[in-house]
Structure 1
């Protein structure tokens, strides 16, 4: 049967287009489950991961076409069962608290209104989806369907329309900040990466039972991707590490260690520690805490592991309170109760040394062959709170105290996934976690994942994580004054006391030399003498020079001078040399070691410090 429309002008033409769209949309949506068009020859889709968003990052974000007429909506990747659209009106109410720059929100279209009959209310935001549990959401939403469009300027084919994708639309979801009473409006959507092969089922308001596919499964069933899978590296806005999200495949250059494999989306986190890949130790010293064993207070014993879920839909490192406190003990941070976060002391010299050196927070996971590490450089853990979370930009450390419900995991959010690769394969029912590179990553190697693949291969001859950061992070001298083991000598005097003793000893020696010098002069005879200053000779009588006897001295050679180049053993058993601390660089001569080092540390470097 052929339908023929006589197209009028103006708004009537627009309405006819909407009716035609609705007929096509509902036809495709209803037949998506019954008629599969799986295509094993399909290529992976590389999504547009070039936007940035969020009041607590900023974070790399996805710009995705949706609906009809098509509109660009901003999303964070998420492991929720359904994608989340944020209505533009969510930020228009008097009690809303949104970012000052509101972009990429969803505006309800006439086309979508035609499918409102499938809507059902989500009564409690807090129970909407367990993957969003750390956000402690409040507000109202509806479960519905809409179109998501696959299109890329880098591909000759497309666009491809995924109609009837199950999703959630929120009009006033708010995020409850930990340890504060200041919720803010959720104004960035979530793009579902759930790889489970099941469908989303509900009963509509008119009593009809409906069944719809999730986003990735719909893309697979319509033949647009080769498997229900993805590869993700969140990356960083600054230091600049571009994000990567590929459907039906992954970028092998983003996976630079043997993947850790899990049968679900949880991993066994065994330990957290501090790491310095090369050079001196920049951290503060904590006498009572071992920097290699910071995972404590998980409620099941300090030495036990915990279940952790890498989760791109939430921002922070959601860990036990004692773990966050233990890490913070080594950092120049303080907990701001009003903001609910650990705030960096950006004027402390330690801060600059930590975030500009190859120092990292090391996460150790249990595997069948032992522990495997993923390192997150502290350069990535210097993030910014902005409005509405803070009235002025404020740099913070993203560890958040979290106590999950019984049987639920802790969450390693976007802060962790800035430096970690995450992949999932629905048909194989596996999740993969690996180290991701920094700004010096190799060229992209887009790799297809077929429906029959059961493994995910890392990059061939991968670099170490720190070698991909060499242009950004510089090793401190081994004799750094901030060396942890020598911050204060164990059981002895601190460096300030040692410096005082050295200076006092030098003064005594100088006084003794002067006294002997004067006595010798009085006893000496009046003879001509040769005095050499830096290679120049001058002949004088005894009374023309306050000294006696023959003196030969090089002016360029310091005598008993306590300088930054000279090191002193600290009394620790490991024999590492420690430099006298120079807390401020005031009045240093240009060209000296201390002057040069002060210029390096005071450099802006186009970073966040």
Structure 2
């Protein structure tokens, strides 16, 4: 009777549905707004180190808020203000250094020196300390943290500079790191936590895993790092997968064009991975290393790229610099051209996996102390592995366009194509998901059905000349830059949307004509194109900054060659298998 009276009176009837909430079992790591050089720009994550009293808040204890690069296994690496004292001529410890409290270090007998020859880092001896590590307000106590009072980076031309940032460890095979506390006392062992390992043990995250995408500082495209999960909006598939945490076979390097005409004399090039032997078609072991800035590859590979790109090796600086006076430079770094990296298929798959890195992302900038003024450079670094355990590197330059993930429990690593900035610098849109405890697969946006990579870059690059005909029999098709459409065609939903939009556009145009006529009749002044678009407005978010080669805009303030954005696809999965990739 009570409910029926509501309906008889015509009053609204609200039904309250109570849905049990499910706790999110992943931890998203925040990113800093600061951009770092001197060979970037690069982005970093935000952490807080310090504190050992669980009864007190971290803010009331000796601690430091730091920006650090994500990367590496086991411990997190930090350094003190005194490490920067000898290097006042160069930026050092830009966003925080940390001085541990008395008694925090010196208890572990092992004090190694860290050496990373691919980018010149030497630090140490380092001490191990067990202190709190806090990320996004989530604190883990007794975490393994490396700390040093001495360290530097030697640039390729021999300059010695201070360290810019430390590193956040992404986990390890073990959840606890055990050290010998004394060389003299038997059984005196110390156990320190891995940050994400302890999160998993405590049930804060659902799996001992992570997935990382560096993003692009030049495009104001934030990175993504999630422990126990991942942002599906950064995952285009299928990826490759392998057992090692970082080392994978690189089959080839090539050059291609995603859309429109090529800025090169040919449409595509392959066999650009040339080892020291000079023999092509031979796979090379590479380490996917977020700590390293460069593409550390065989010297023959960098030299070969210099023959087809407008770059030149500066024998003094020992970097490949873009020839900015060459007309091809601007055309290439603003076009849909890319450098491709081909990897073997994952378990159960048959197709190789190719990751495309647009040249727009490889138009990076050198700064002090490497050069006196900002200088565009191409991040290919001629590298020779020091021994059989050392390998070529694909660093942050590569990871701007790729994601790297690892489930430590299932011993599965994922490597695949990340999207471009998209409509609002969020890739294909934020969609945080858990990684299951024993997962060997990821859900992804399927590139085999829709070209999400192409569409995520729409509006951020300028299509060269005319688009290719959509049909091989239609050789008379030519379009202007503003009319170009993705070579993969539009989805059914997009075509339907265009049809409906065209009808509304016709009515809108009629309305505008009437409006203009009435304003002219009454002597009103009509605004310029900014009346419709707003000064400097760009429909796809921030375009490339001027210093990175922004293409010319048309009279409406738009970049040429804009394309339709993507529509949400069906989620796909990799084949479910625990078998390792065939050698």
Aligned twin of 1:65: 48
Aligned pairs for 1:450-529 within 5 A: 450-459=436-445, 463-478=451-466
C-alpha separation between the residues in 2 aligned to 1:418 and 1:97? 29
Aligned twin of 1:99: 91
Aligned twin of 2:253: 272
Task: Report how far residue 169 of structure 1 moved.
Answer: 0.9
**Secondary structure of the residue that 2:237 maps to in structure 1?**
coil
CA gap of 1:108–1:479, structure 2 versus 1, over 3 A, is closer
CA gap of 1:451–1:145, structure 2 versus 1, over 3 A, is farther
Task: Report how far residue 206 of structure 1 moved.
Answer: 7.2
C-alpha contact (below 8 Å) 1:234/1:243 kept by paired residues: yes
C-alpha contact (below 8 Å) 1:82/1:168 kept by paired residues: yes
Aligned twin of 1:606: 546
Task: Report how far residue 99 of structure 1 moved.
Answer: 1.6
C-alpha separation between the residues in 2 aligned to 1:464 and 1:479? 18
Aligned twin of 1:220: 200
Of the structure 1 ranges 164-173 and 343-352, higher mean CA displacement relative to structure 2 is found in 164-173
C-alpha separation between the residues in 2 aligned to 1:233 and 1:605? 21
Task: Report how far residue 445 of structure 1 moved.
Answer: 0.6
Q: How big is each residue's C-alpha offset from its partner over 1:175-209, in whole Å with a ceiling of 9 and x where there is no partner?
A: 2333x222322220000113312543333367443
Aligned twin of 1:427: 409
Q: Tell me how large the CA RMSD over aligned residues is.
A: 2.6
Aligned twin of 1:532: none
C-alpha contact (below 8 Å) 1:50/1:243 kept by paired residues: no
Corresponding position: 1:194 with 2:175: no
C-alpha separation between the residues in 2 aligned to 1:192 and 1:429? 17
CA gap of 1:148–1:284, structure 2 versus 1, over 3 A, is farther
**Secondary structure of the residue that 1:63 maps to in structure 2?**
strand
C-alpha separation between the residues in 2 aligned to 1:245 and 1:239? 18
Q: How big is each residue's C-alpha offset from its partner over 1:44-82, in whole Å with a ceiling of 9 and x where there is no partner?
A: 111111333231101011111121334211110112331
**Secondary structure of the residue that 2:455 maps to in structure 1?**
helix
C-alpha separation between the residues in 2 aligned to 1:230 and 1:478? 42
Aligned twin of 2:114: 125
Of the structure 1 ranges 461-470 and 183-192, higher mean CA displacement relative to structure 2 is found in 461-470
Q: How big is each residue's C-alpha offset from its partner over 1:342-362, in whole Å with a ceiling of 9 and x where there is no partner?
A: 011112110110011100001
Among residues 429, 433, 439, which one is paired with 1:443 in the alignment? 429
**Secondary structure of the residue that 1:379 maps to in structure 2?**
helix
Task: Report how far residue 474 of structure 1 moved.
Answer: 1.6
Task: Report how far residue 230 of structure 1 moved.
Answer: 0.6
Q: How big is each residue's C-alpha offset from its partner over 1:213-251, in whole Å with a ceiling of 9 and x where there is no partner?
A: 322212222332221111111011112221101111000
Aligned twin of 1:174: 152
CA gap of 1:283–1:91, structure 2 versus 1, over 3 A, is farther
C-alpha separation between the residues in 1 aligned to 2:436 and 2:214? 23
C-alpha separation between the residues in 2 aligned to 1:47 and 1:455? 22
C-alpha contact (below 8 Å) 1:61/1:75 kept by paired residues: yes
CA gap of 1:148–1:235, structure 2 versus 1, over 3 A, is farther
Task: Report how far residue 316 of structure 1 moved.
Answer: 0.3
Among residues 68, 73, 81, which one is paired with 1:88 in the alignment? 81
C-alpha separation between the residues in 2 aligned to 1:230 and 1:169? 24
Among residues 92, 114, 135, which one is paired with 2:119 in the alignment? 135
Task: Report how far residue 270 of structure 1 moved.
Answer: 0.7
C-alpha separation between the residues in 1 aligned to 2:352 and 2:252? 9
Task: Report how far residue 336 of structure 1 moved.
Answer: 1.0
Aligned twin of 1:371: 352
Aligned length: 430
Corresponding position: 1:357 with 2:350: no
Gaps of 5+ in 1: 1-39, 127-131, 153-158, 481-564, 566-602
C-alpha separation between the residues in 1 aligned to 2:120 and 2:177? 23
C-alpha contact (below 8 Å) 2:355/2:417 kept by paired residues: yes
C-alpha separation between the residues in 2 aligned to 1:300 and 1:335? 20
Aligned twin of 1:320: 298
User: TM-score under structure 2 normalisation?
Assistant: 0.69
Spell out structure 1 runs of 4+ moving beyond 6 A.
none
Q: How big is each residue's C-alpha offset from its partner over 1:285-324, in whole Å with a ceiling of 9 and x where there is no partner?
A: 89xxx93210112448432111122111110001100001
C-alpha separation between the residues in 2 aligned to 1:258 and 1:150? 34
C-alpha separation between the residues in 2 aligned to 1:84 and 1:300? 38
CA gap of 1:221–1:444, structure 2 versus 1, over 3 A, is same
C-alpha contact (below 8 Å) 1:195/1:424 kept by paired residues: no
C-alpha contact (below 8 Å) 1:85/1:105 kept by paired residues: no
Q: How big is each residue's C-alpha offset from its partner over 1:74-99, in whole Å with a ceiling of 9 and x where there is no partner?
A: 11011233111021222122x56532
User: TM-score under structure 1 normalisation?
Assistant: 0.66
Aligned pairs for 1:232-311 within 5 A: 232-264=212-244, 265-283=246-264, 291-299=269-277, 301-311=279-289
Q: How big is each residue's C-alpha offset from its partner over 1:371-393, in whole Å with a ceiling of 9 and x where there is no partner?
A: 21100000000111111111111
C-alpha contact (below 8 Å) 2:64/2:96 kept by paired residues: no
C-alpha separation between the residues in 1 aligned to 2:288 and 2:205? 24
CA gap of 1:372–1:283, structure 2 versus 1, over 3 A, is same
Aligned twin of 1:400: 381
Gaps of 5+ in 2: 1-21, 52-60, 469-479, 481-542, 550-583
Q: How big is each residue's C-alpha offset from its partner over 1:94-130, in whole Å with a ceiling of 9 and x where there is no partner?
A: x565327x532222143xx23334244634332xxxx
C-alpha contact (below 8 Å) 2:113/2:126 kept by paired residues: no
Aligned twin of 1:495: none
CA gap of 1:227–1:72, structure 2 versus 1, over 3 A, is same
